[in-house]
């Protein structure tokens, strides 16, 4: 029963998108819009498949079948973008987590850093583009620098809040059981802060994904952001839309993955039922 109704629910959700796509296709077929401005959905899908498939025919002499199968532009671009997101996010979160834990746990550390953090935090990472290119030139380094910035602050702010909001009753219970110092921190304060930290991680990855697209538009010559800007130069609007769809799909995949990780790490948490 439950599966039937969930299928039905999913089906209901598809009606509006299907109608919109049908309307779009009709508009394209009836010549209401210039295909250069808005290509038909069929043309976009055809382009997306062409973008996905390898550019060269399969040649066994050149290498393995698998290497050939993933040699398509879309796959290379996606890997390029994901690499930057992953590296940038890991550096950004890796710096933010210890600082956030220290700022949350110690009023003195908080007082030392808070003013600086509050002054730098409102500057959007994108505003650093000119500086990042001056400092790091072109290629991956400026892009990764921007992503580090984008990931850093959400993780930092949520980690601070997570440590500060730990319910006093857990601290009392832990001290009563004999916990102190690093045991108290690692076994009680840190796990209690995990729900906050994870929501910071989620926001941080979202920001990193926005920033990577922008960074690729200015500093790099591959990746999904670069590709849709390149397509504009040639008026390939079908490829622009195909690229946007790919960005959306990867964003969705990241979100689903984060959700799974969340549910696993927070399986003890009251709000979650699996």
Partner 1 sequence: MSTAHIVVSNVGKVFQTAERDVVALQDINLEIPQGQFVCLLGPSGCGKSTLLNAIAGFALPTSGSITADGRVVTAPGPERGMVFQEYALFPWMTVADNIAFGLEIKGMARADIAAVVDKLLKMLSLQDFRNRFPKDLSGGMRQRVAIARVLALDSPIMLMDEPFGALDALTRRNLQDELLRLWAELKKTIIFVTHSIEEAIYLADRIVVMTYRPGTVKRDIMVALPRLRDPASAEFNALKRELGQLVMEEQQRHHHDELRMAAVD
User: Which chain residues interact with partner 1 by CB under 8 A?
Assistant: 169-170, 172-179, 183, 187-188, 191-192, 194, 267-270
What is the C-alpha to C-alpha distance for residues 161 and 134, in angstroms, rounded to an integer? 34
Question: In whole angstroms, how close is the CB of 273 to partner 1 at the nearest point?
Answer: 9
What is the C-alpha to C-alpha distance for residues 131 and 20, in angstroms, rounded to an integer? 42
Question: In whole angstroms, how close is the CB of 267 to partner 1 at the nearest point?
Answer: 7
Question: In whole angstroms, how close is the CB of 96 to partner 1 at the nearest point?
Answer: 22
What is the C-alpha to C-alpha distance for residues 150 and 204, in angstroms, rounded to an integer? 7
Whichever of 197 and 212 has its CB closer to partner 1, that residue is: 197
Is 159 in contact with 92 (CB distance < 8 Å)?
no
Whichever of 57 and 181 has its CB closer to partner 1, that residue is: 181
Whichever of 124 and 191 has its CB closer to partner 1, that residue is: 191
Question: In whole angstroms, how close is the CB of 97 to partner 1 at the nearest point?
Answer: 18
Whichever of 85 and 190 has its CB closer to partner 1, that residue is: 190
Is 208 in contact with 94 (CB distance < 8 Å)?
no
Whichever of 57 and 168 has its CB closer to partner 1, that residue is: 168
Question: In whole angstroms, how close is the CB of 193 to partner 1 at the nearest point?
Answer: 10
**Residue listed under structure tokens 């987590």:** 97
Catalogue the E-assigned strands of the chain.
none
What is the C-alpha to C-alpha distance for residues 193 and 157, in angstroms, rounded to an integer? 12
Structure tokens at 64: 């393995």
CB atoms within 10 A of CB 27: 14
Whichever of 86 and 179 has its CB closer to partner 1, that residue is: 179
Is 240 in contact with 51 (CB distance < 8 Å)?
no
How is 46-62 classified by DSSP, letter by letter?
Answer: HHHHHHHS-SSPP-TTT
Question: In whole angstroms, how close is the CB of 198 to partner 1 at the nearest point?
Answer: 12
Whichever of 200 and 223 has its CB closer to partner 1, that residue is: 200
Question: In whole angstroms, how close is the CB of 6 to partner 1 at the nearest point?
Answer: 23
What is the C-alpha to C-alpha distance for residues 172 and 215, in angstroms, rounded to an integer? 47
């Amino acid at each position: 029963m439950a599966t039937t109704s969930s299928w039905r629910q999913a089906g209901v959700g598809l009606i509006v998108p299907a109608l919109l796509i049908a309307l779009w296709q009709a508009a394209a077929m009836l010549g209401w819009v210039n295909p250069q401005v808005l290509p038909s959905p069929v043309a976009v899908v055809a382009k997306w498949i062409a973008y996905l498939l390898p550019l060269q025919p399969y040649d066994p002499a050149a290498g393995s079948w698998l290497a050939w199968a993933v040699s398509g532009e879309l796959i290379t671009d996606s890997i390029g973008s994901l690499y930057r997101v992953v590296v940038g996010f890991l550096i950004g979160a890796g710096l933010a987590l210890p600082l956030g834990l220290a700022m949350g746990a110690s009023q003195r550390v908080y007082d030392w850093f808070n003013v600086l953090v509050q002054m730098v935090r409102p500057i959007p990472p994108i505003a650093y583009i000119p500086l990042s290119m001056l400092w790091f030139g072109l290629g991956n380094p400026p892009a990764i620098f921007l992503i580090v910035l984008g990931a850093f602050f959400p993780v930092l702010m949520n980690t601070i809040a997570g440590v500060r909001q730990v319910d006093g009753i857990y601290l009392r219970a832990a001290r009563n059981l004999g916990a102190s110092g690093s045991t108290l921190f690692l076994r009680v304060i840190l796990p209690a802060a995990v729900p906050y930290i994870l929501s910071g991680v989620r926001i941080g990855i979202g920001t990193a994904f926005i920033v990577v697209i922008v960074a690729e538009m200015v500093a790099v010559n591959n990746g999904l952001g670069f590709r849709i800007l390149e397509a504009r130069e040639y008026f390939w609007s079908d490829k622009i839309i195909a690229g946007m769809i790919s960005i959306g799909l990867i964003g969705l995949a990241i979100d689903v993955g984060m959700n799974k990780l969340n549910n696993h790490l927070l399986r003890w948490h009251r709000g979650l039922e699996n």
